[in-house]
Structure 1
């Protein structure tokens, strides 16, 4: 049972978690930079761009993931060629994870003391220098803390994705555990997910304290 069912599911979950988290961080980071720059109090205020991106993020975040992953199946098939498997799952999770991370990072960047930004401007720093050396670097400890929350949330997305044909521990728990009335598999996958969350949370806390 362990070698044939649970370990393959665990491997698929890890692949989905790492791939979707990396993709979500990349796109979320880019979106957060646009938001923080075009914010009414940002370096280059632009209400139209800020409000448009903000509305899209709010809409995507307001849709439960289990509904979102089904709603974007046509788009997933267009991009990935299929809607079943690890690749499509990573794409779907990234669609849901990117807005989440963008909003978390935006809030982190807004916590930076405005006086630091003004001081950098007085020294003639460019917008890019202010963004990278002041806003981003100064918020790294808070970013680490928020990314710990984000990766745990994305782990939950991988479990949901598994219930709609993407594999992983979610599929194992549903197919071999719940539908076959096998409590041993059901609670084994539950225990593994709890252990993964604990490892992620402890690692994030240790990294945060070290950077702080």
Structure 2
């Protein structure tokens, strides 16, 4: 058996830390991104409730955050991380920059998903007497569901890559294991093993996303 230079317990802990960071940040980021994306779609000029001021503000905010590389964002918001979780290092501390990173990323993907919906559905909702909230909840979201699932899948894979860089603040995880015990100690077997683990994670996430998207389409 190949000696990876770390204990099985360390490997399991790193996998758990990665999954914790990815799925907690994803859950929070998805909710925030949906709110932002819906607001962008309904407030645009051709939207249900046109509001140029709100649209320009949100659109600029999303573009600004997305333009900052994650490793710089990670360091830049350390004071905010300290304020929210009480520490700048650790797995939980990494959630703050991960959420800030993934929220505008998903918001843009979700916005594109909503814009793919046939505009005629809004006329249908209006003719049925649906309110703005009912139009969004019963018409827009269901019609965009399959595309939204694939957007979440893409965001999850991007988030998985970001957790590796989160090792810069001692976040732990598979990526940090590869850097600390693999790269810095020139432990090639461990680096190869972590690459394989990440590839497996990505394959599972993409397969699950494709499956649920197909189910949403009725295939």
Please classify the TM superposition score into its range, dividing by the shorter chain length.
over 0.9
CA drift at 1:207 = 1.2
- Counterparts of 2:169 and 2:199, CA distance in 1: 21
Matched, 1:15 2:16: no
Aligned residue in 2 for 1:97: 102
User: What is the aligned partner in structure 2 of residue 143 from structure 1?
Assistant: 148
Counterpart residue number, 1:191: 196
> Does residue 59 in structure 1 map to residue 64 in structure 2?
yes
Distance change >3 Å, CA 68–CA 181, structure 1 → 2: same
Report the Cα distance in structure 1 between the residues aligned to 2:30 and 2:129, rounded to whole angstroms: 30
TM superposition shift of 1:170? 1.5
The answer (yes or no) to whether the contact 1:6–1:189 under 8 Å persists in 2 is no
The aligned residue for residue 46 of structure 2 is: 41
Q: Residue 202 of structure 1 aligns with which residue? A: 207
**Which residues of 2 match residues 61-210 of structure 1 at below 5 A?**
61-210=66-215
Question: 1:38·1:46 contact (CA, 8 Å) conserved in 2?
Answer: yes
Query: Which ranges in structure 1 are unaligned for 5 or more consecutive residues?
Result: none
Structure 2 unaligned runs (5+)?
1-5
Aligned residues: 212
Report the TM-score when normalising by structure 2.
Answer: 0.94
Look up the SS of the partner of 1:6 in the other structure: helix
Instruction: Give RMSD over aligned pairs.
Output: 1.0
The question of 1:28 aligning with 2:33 is answered: yes
Give the match's secondary structure for 1:203. Answer: helix
Q: Hey, what's the Cα distance between the residues in 2 that align with 1:156 and 1:141? A: 24
What TM-score, normalized to structure 1?
Answer: 0.97
State the alpha-carbon separation in 1 of the partners of residues 35 and 7 from structure 2: 40
Q: CA deviation at 1:145?
A: 1.3
Question: Moved runs in structure 1, 4+ residues, more than 3 A?
Answer: none
